[in-house]
């Protein structure tokens, strides 16, 4: 049921992106906002569902396999979209994207994060699959299983590694690049998922753990918003 749900999200988003591409090419701002919203919605909705499958046996093989598979799927179906506020900073820093366009895309990413969370909570409330039972009663299921400073350093390091890999992989053929990036993300999730969740995406972090941001805004914004963005700025400044 979970796989069918995530596949349905991917297919629906693909249709919406195609429709927007056909109808809104003459309105670049609206087109950019909607495409970024649809794409980020897909990643956030699927990852919300994947977060419920972390305890499926055999552990952690099932969760890591699904993480790799859907990361490849996202890479193949969401070409041209950033889906990460940190990634949007790069063209803004280089002057390739206007400040207004960059701000619009970041706004779209957070709008999509909220919409994905609302949508998935509605789906979970229907309790159509076993993993959905009791999913809404968890509240702040904190991914931070270490100290705040260690969590900050881990997310900062993972962001630096990921963003550097993305830059280095630009010269690789797209059909191989998606697998390299997916493998790296899976390795980072395996290495630090039990400590911080290995998210390194501010919009995705908010979609997954909004309740935690409400309860402990300063610590969670430091770890899941500031650390990834700082990692991106370090890469841009150094390289």
pLDDT computed for residue 171 by the predictor: 85
pLDDT digit string, tens, across residues 77-134:
998 899 999 988 877 877 677 888 999 999 999 999 999 999 999 999 888 877 788 7
pLDDT over threshold 80, residue 55: no
**Average pLDDT score, the chain:** 90
Whether the CB-CB separation of 85 and 42 falls below 8 Å is answered with: no
Span 135-163, average pLDDT: 88
pLDDT digit string, tens, across residues 23-38:
887 888 999 999 999 9
Percent of the chain residues past pLDDT 90, beyond the cut? 58
Q: Identify which of 164, 162, 159 has the alpha carbon closest to the alpha carbon of residue 226.
A: 159
Residues with Cβ within 8 Å of residue 198, at least 6 apart in sequence: 154, 155, 158, 188, 189, 191, 192
Calculate the CA dihedral of residues 209, 215, 216, 218 and round it to 10 degrees: 100
pLDDT over threshold 80, residue 212: yes
pLDDT over threshold 70, residue 139: no
Higher pLDDT, 22 or 137: 22
Is the pTM higher than 0.85?
yes
pLDDT over threshold 80, residue 148: yes
pLDDT over threshold 70, residue 58: yes
pLDDT band at 19 (very low <50, low <70, confident <90, very high): very high
Percent of the chain residues past pLDDT 70, beyond the cut? 98
Domain ranges (residues) in the chain = 2-238
Helix axes 148-168, 85-94, angle to 10 degrees: 60
Higher pLDDT, 145 or 128: 145
pLDDT digit string, tens, across residues 41-54:
999 999 999 988 87
Higher pLDDT, 196 or 239: 196
pLDDT over threshold 90, residue 186: yes
Which CATH architecture does the domain made up of 2-238 adopt?
Answer: Up-down Bundle (1.20)
Q: Identify which of 2, 50, 18 has the alpha carbon closest to the alpha carbon of residue 204.
A: 50
């Amino acid at each position: 049921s979970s796989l069918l749900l995530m596949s349905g999200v991917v297919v629906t988003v693909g249709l919406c992106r195609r429709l927007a591409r056909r109808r809104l090419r003459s309105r670049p701002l609206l087109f950019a906002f909607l495409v970024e919203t649809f794409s980020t919605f897909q990643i956030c909705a699927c990852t919300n569902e994947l977060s419920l499958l972390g305890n499926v046996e055999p552990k952690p093989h099932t969760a890591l396999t699904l993480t790799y598979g859907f990361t490849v799927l996202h890479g193949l179906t969401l070409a041209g979209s950033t889906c990460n506020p940190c990634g949007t900073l790069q063209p803004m820093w280089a002057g390739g994207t206007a400040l207004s366009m960059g701000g619009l895309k970041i706004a779209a990413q957070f709008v999509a994060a909220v919409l994905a969370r609302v949508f998935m909570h509605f789906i979970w409330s229907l309790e159509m699959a076993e993993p959905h039972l009791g999913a809404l009663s968890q509240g702040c299921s904190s991914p931070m299983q270490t100290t705040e400073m260690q969590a900050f350093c881990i997310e900062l390091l993972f962001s630096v590694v990921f963003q550097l890999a993305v830059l280095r992989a630009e010269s690789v053929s797209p059909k191989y690049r998606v697998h390299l990036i997916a493998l790296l993300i899976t390795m980072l999730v395996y290495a630090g998922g039990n400590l911080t969740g290995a998210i390194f995406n501010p919009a995705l972090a908010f979609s997954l753990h909004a309740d935690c941001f409400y309860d402990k805004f300063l610590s969670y914004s430091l770890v899941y918003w500031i650390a990834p963005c700082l990692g991106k700025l370090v890469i841009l400044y150094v390289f």
